[in-house]
Chain A
Amino acid sequence: MSKRENIRVPVSQQPFTVTKPEDTTTIGGTVTVQINEKKFSVPLGTTILEACRQNQIHIPTLCHHPDLCIAGVCRICVVDVEGMKTLQTACSFPITTPIKIHTSTPMVRKARRHIIDLLLSEHYGECYSCFRNGSCELQSLAKEYGVDEYTFGHADKPRYQVDRSSAAVVRDMSKCILCKRCVRTCIDLQEVGVLEAINRGHETYIGTFLDKPLADVICINCGQCINRCPTAALRANDPSDEIWEAIDNPKKHVIIQTAPSPRAAIGEEFGIEAGHSFTGELNTALKRIGFDKVFDTNFTADLTIIEEGTELLYRLKKIIVDKDESVKLPQFTSCSPGWIKFIEHFYPEYLGYLSTAKSPQQMFGAIMKTFYAKQAGINPADIVTVALMPCAAKKFECNRPEMNSSGYKDVDYGLTTREMAKMIREAGIYLPEMPKANFDEPFGDASGAGLIFGATGGVMEAALRTVYELVTGREVPFKNLAIEPCRGFEGVKQASVKLENCVDQYKFLEGVELKFVVAHGTANAKKVMEMLRKGELSNVHFVEIMACPGGCLGGGGQPIPTNAEIRKKRAQAIYAEEESLTVRKSHENPHIKYIYENFLTDGPCGKLSHKLLHTHYLKRGKFIS
């Protein structure tokens, strides 16, 4: 039987593993089960839920989530297993013997209906005034079971106050059904540890340390909990009303930048299967909504690559040539604001390893309210910049007080994919039917390198394409520019490329094995940081970290549901779109060349770019007073 590795996950909630068949009727690691009079053969240890799903038998679930360990607390998935006195939960029951299962007996149906009735009796809120209307799992269960009255009553007043303290996450515990998905997300999946069940019995609620407002605890705003909440108990802090107001104000020049991941996922909000990009359609929709300019965040992603790549080369030079021991390597990427807050809380002593480059979102804001404003002849005070992001943490990032290098708040609003879809629907637009359009100039063209930022490993891949070419004068030695070691969803990836026949300027790098590490999800980030602490990264040069599982495409602002399969499809959509582009290296983006020639004239990491495109970090630590 399995031994627990991670002490925080109770054994009963860990994936079940079976070492040897326990019964002679089980041959070759499979077992025959009978579900509703039909026989199926499944691998030993398959849960009843998996067995049913594999065979197209529907079992309702609430607390179950494919990304998380098993909880078995909502009890909605109960089925009848012959020979057992009580009903069993399909999500938690591993099949190890040839059992007989009935998924729809009168007792099972009654129990499920009762459970829904009980949950509804405590649930405060009406679906028509709720952002999850139409995508709520509780609501769809009520529909599935034909609930047409509140058998056991219905909450007429909220039990808890709504916590709106956080820039990113709003918590409304009166809508919570205590499925604990958020707890398992925050503690097990992300290893941040903000949310836990507090009190016991009927008094239980999901709370923070000492019931502090979310803004005052170590929440990194990743929004992963929102993505896994089956109801509206957790939602993102939605700025769309303010954005509408700005759009409707003729004095305001409202600019939206769109990041790559929302484009690859927003179709899901309109009922399209995952894995289709809607970049062109989205551009049209945004123009019709009334945004004055629609720009591509990938442009500043390219800028980020130049700045971050140059910074890396500086660090290498300082270490190798100048023997400067105060310089820190490996250099960590800094474009994921969830990751930034994570390292600020958990590893404040390692902030020196972070690249000082801002994230593409913030670089964009700074350029808009300076360079663009000047070129377009608009008073920066009248510019409103909106960022369409897959991310909840971006809402926090744009509100960081230091993010005002343009003299104004660089980015006014961070908007998630879900909120964008809502605005599009509100405007009466059905996105998939929009004609395609290009981005607006001058920041409309970007390279494919910026596009793949959306997937884990993408920043690394983009950076390598540029750095390798700068140093050696040749393209990276990978077929079709696809640096395979950077791709895929393994938690922590490591690889290297050798730098040979370097150009004169970078002769000091001749023969260096450029080593890099890629990790996604803060649980994996923690692993990498522990490696760093133990000195195991001493020969690594560059580390990419994204706070969300799968990278931005699995961000906390993305359509619900998000799971492994959907993440994979979104990644495919992104990589496919990028292959179709002609410019696929950041340094070849003509607008990048233009901006260094005409605005950031002292070059990458120069004085002006330091002012506008770089930032500093805060030693937050974990202690809460």
Chain B
Amino acid sequence: MEIKLENKKRSGPVLFSEYKRGDGIRKAVELGRENILFELKNSGLKGRGGAGFPTSTKWMLSAAANADKKFIVCNADEGEPGTFKDRVLLLEYPELVFDGMVIAGFTIGAQTGIVYLRGEYEYMLQPLEDYLAKVREDNLLGKNILGKENFDFDISIRLGSGAYVCGEETALIESLEGCRGEPRNRPPYPVNTGYLGYPTVVNNVETLASVSHIVLKGGEWFKKYGTDKSTGSKLFSVSGDCEKPGVYELPWGTKIKELLEIVGAKNTKAVQAGGASGTCIPKTQFDRMLGYEDAATGGSIIIFNESRNMLKVLKNFMEFFIEESCGQCTPCRIGNIKLMDGIEKIESGEFTFSYINNLKELGRTMQVASKCGLGQSSPNSFISILENFKEEILNTNWKGKENV
């Protein structure tokens, strides 16, 4: 596999708009740190990895931190079920991602960038390394970038080894440090105490790609798209029951039913926004719009049509969490098992309503008491699917209906 430079075959308002390799970096040098941070703040860009933390704040905090070394980490651990936009960006638009990293390094004063690429994407490793080698030749990476004195930045790629939880930024850092991918206590936050104890910015692939455009074209331009609270556009990875699954760039604020229209989904019963950690949105709520303020998602959109059995869907999600929990904290390690027990009890028809309510309560505890986002969001689908499909799930006699 080879990555071709400047090979545009997609179109979209922001991310898939015109961009030439190095343009963002050139502009960044021209603007200077202060102005970059201003443009970023003005753009209202929020993290695309799922948590939605304002990128400018993250960068400012680490720019302000006093340390002899700093790190930029590109989170390419894309593991959320139904998400594959980062793969597309890395393979087809690597210039956006890597330019974004260089700009980040320039802004906060870091000289080292690390891409944490999930082990499942090992087949991308060589093409990406080749790409980086080419960029180094063009002096867009390495020492004295673009001839600017002391503007040094280089990028290395490190592989994961098959653990979804390593996408969580502090688990990712633990993994980079050669440890089990167990999320850390926060505070201290990585912007102060990250990789090897140094200030570290962890950003999603798409966040960094957006930065390249914003720096080149300005915060105002970016803000033209999207809503007040969710500015710009977003890549949606669409899969499930539709005619045209794939990656779509749409402005934030797009309604779910509009999206369903675009991808050719028919007879849709429900949409899972945000992957297994997200929430399940039933037909009656398809008027809701995609955005941080309403139906938030890191990009994953999974579509279910009328023929799908929602309990089976839920079971698939819970299996995912049980397999991927790191297991260090009590609510998540044992809680997910209990939720699964509940699902099995429903399947076998042995549940009581009060036990299911107990489990929903337990889910709420997990949401607030788990150590990291995994345990905090694993009950989301349990709660939302059981609420929204109560009729379908609890009032059916499941015995002997294993594979409806």
Contact = CB atoms under 8 A, between A and B. Distances in A.
B337 interface: yes
Interface string B293-337: 000000000000000000000000000001111111111011111
A244 interface: no
B335 A118 contact: yes
A297 interface: no
| Residue with the greatest number of chain B CB neighbours at <10 A, chosen from A70, A89, A118 | A118
A177 B193 CA distance: 29
A3 B331 contact: no
Interface in B181-201: 184-188, 192-193, 196-198
A122 interface: yes
Interface string A194-236: 0001011111100000000000000000000000000000000
Given A86-B376, A199-B327, A94 B192 contact: no
Interface on chain A toward B: helix, strand, loop, or mixed SS?
Answer: loop
Contact of A201 (B193, B323, B371): B323
Interface string B355-370: 0001001101101111
B187 A202 contact: no
Given A10-B179, A70-B185, A178 B327 contact: yes
A86 B369 contact: yes
Contacts of B187: 16, 93-94, 96
A178 B333 contact: yes
Contacts of B329: 72-75
B338 interface: yes
Contacts of A178: 327-328, 330, 333
Contacts of A72: 185, 329, 371
Interface in A159-185: 177-178, 180
Given A75-B370, A114-B362, A1 B327 contact: no
Contacts of B65: 1
Given A178-B327, A202-B337, A114 B163 contact: no
A19 to B, nearest CB: 8
Nearest to A96: B187
B180 interface: yes
A121 B338 contact: yes
| Residue with the greatest number of chain B CB neighbours at <10 A, chosen from A2, A89, A114 | A114
Nearest to A177: B330
A200 B365 contact: no
A94 B365 CA distance: 23
Contact of B369 (A94, A111, A152, A180): A111
B197 A3 contact: yes
Interface on chain B toward A: helix, strand, loop, or mixed SS?
Answer: helix
A201 B369 contact: no
A153 B345 CA distance: 13
| Residue with the greatest number of chain B CB neighbours at <10 A, chosen from A85, A153, A204 | A204
A110 B322 contact: no
Contacts of B154: none
A96 B193 CA distance: 15
A90 to B, nearest CB: 11
Interface string A64-80: 00000011111110100
Contacts of A85: 368
A483 interface: no
B184 A152 contact: no
A114 B322 contact: no
Contact of A152 (B328, B362, B367): B362
Interface in A40-79: 70-76, 78
A233 to B, nearest CB: 15
A10 B331 contact: no
B380 interface: no
A36 interface: no
Contacts of A89: 185, 371
B170 to A, nearest CB: 7
Contacts of B328: 71, 73, 178, 180, 197, 204
Interface residues of B, number: 47
Given A12-B170, A72-B185, A114 B369 contact: yes
B194 to A, nearest CB: 8
A73 B371 contact: yes
A608 interface: no
B163 A115 contact: no
A115 to B, nearest CB: 5
A307 B171 CA distance: 54
Given A16-B188, A78-B369, A2 B327 contact: no
Nearest to B194: A11
Interface string B142-153: 000000000000
Contacts of A96: 187
Given A73-B329, A201-B333, A110 B365 contact: yes
A72 B384 CA distance: 29
A514 interface: no
B368 A86 contact: yes
Nearest to B359: A152
A151 B358 contact: yes
A344 B319 CA distance: 46
A2 B331 contact: no
| Residue with the greatest number of chain B CB neighbours at <10 A, chosen from A7, A86, A89, A180 | A86
B334 A200 contact: no
Contacts of B170: 12
Contact of A115 (B179, B180, B361, B369): B369
Given A86-B368, A89-B185, A118 B334 contact: yes
Given A16-B188, A73-B330, A75-B331, A200 B337 contact: no
Interface in B87-146: none
A98 to B, nearest CB: 15
Given A1-B197, A201-B333, A203-B327, A11 B184 contact: yes
Contacts of A10: 174, 177, 179, 184
Contacts of A200: 163, 165, 180, 325-327
Contacts of B186: 12
A115 B330 contact: yes
A256 interface: no
Nearest to A107: B368
A468 to B, nearest CB: 47
A2 B328 CA distance: 24
Nearest to A200: B327
Interface in B366-394: 367-371, 376
Given A4-B196, A200-B325, A204-B327, A111 B365 contact: yes
B369 A1 contact: no
A11 B67 CA distance: 15
A69 to B, nearest CB: 10
| Residue with the greatest number of chain B CB neighbours at <10 A, chosen from A1, A4, A16, A122 | A1
A92 interface: yes
A93 B371 CA distance: 12
A379 interface: no
A25 interface: no
Interface in A571-619: none
A260 to B, nearest CB: 40
A75 B335 CA distance: 12
Contacts of A259: none
A77 to B, nearest CB: 10
A153 B340 CA distance: 14
Contacts of A70: 185
Contact of B334 (A71, A93, A111, A122): A122
The 10 lowest CB-CB distance pairs between A and B, nearest first, are: A12-B184, A204-B327, A92-B185, A118-B334, A201-B325, A72-B185, A201-B327, A114-B365, A111-B369, A4-B197
15 contacts: A2-B193, A10-B179, A12-B186, A73-B328, A74-B330, A78-B368, A93-B187, A94-B188, A114-B361, A119-B334, A152-B341, A180-B328, A197-B327, A201-B333, A203-B327
